[in-house]
Amino acid sequence: MGLVSYIIRIYRRDESDPGLIVGIVEDIESNVKQRFASFEELKRILGAPKGRLPRKEKYSVTEK
């Protein structure tokens, strides 16, 4: 596996909850852009094998 370069743009983050961030990741080589809405999504994007887009999980809303 070779070196992969990304541009990561973070547009919003919550200082009280570091896991709540919103932004875009751009793969420099392929020019593919992906949005993320949490730190977990960002980690999944960066950890995806080259040439494969990670699947987004569907979240269900539950009442408290």
pLDDT digits (tens, 9 = 90+) for 1-53: 578 899 999 998 878 877 788 999 999 998 999 999 998 899 998 887 665 55
Q: Is 53 contained in some domain?
A: no
Number of structural domains (the chain) is: 1
Listed in sequence order, the residues at least 6 apart from 27 whose beta carbon sits closer than 8 Å to its beta carbon are 4, 5, 6, 33
Q: What is the pLDDT of residue 33?
A: 94
Q: Are 54 and 48 in contact (CB under 8 A)?
A: yes
Q: How far apart, in whole angstroms, are the C-alpha atoms of residue 64 and residue 58?
A: 19
Q: How far apart, in whole angstroms, are the C-alpha atoms of residue 13 and residue 51?
A: 28
Q: Is 12 contained in some domain?
A: yes
Confidence band of 56 (pLDDT split at 50, 70, 90): low
Q: Which amino acid is at 5?
A: S
Q: Is 43 contained in some domain?
A: yes
Kindly report whether the global pTM for this prediction surpasses the value 0.75.
no
Which residues span the domain enclosing 34?
6-47
Q: What is the pLDDT of residue 15?
A: 82
Q: Which of 59, 37, 56 is nearest to 48 (CA)?
A: 56
Q: Is 35 contained in some domain?
A: yes
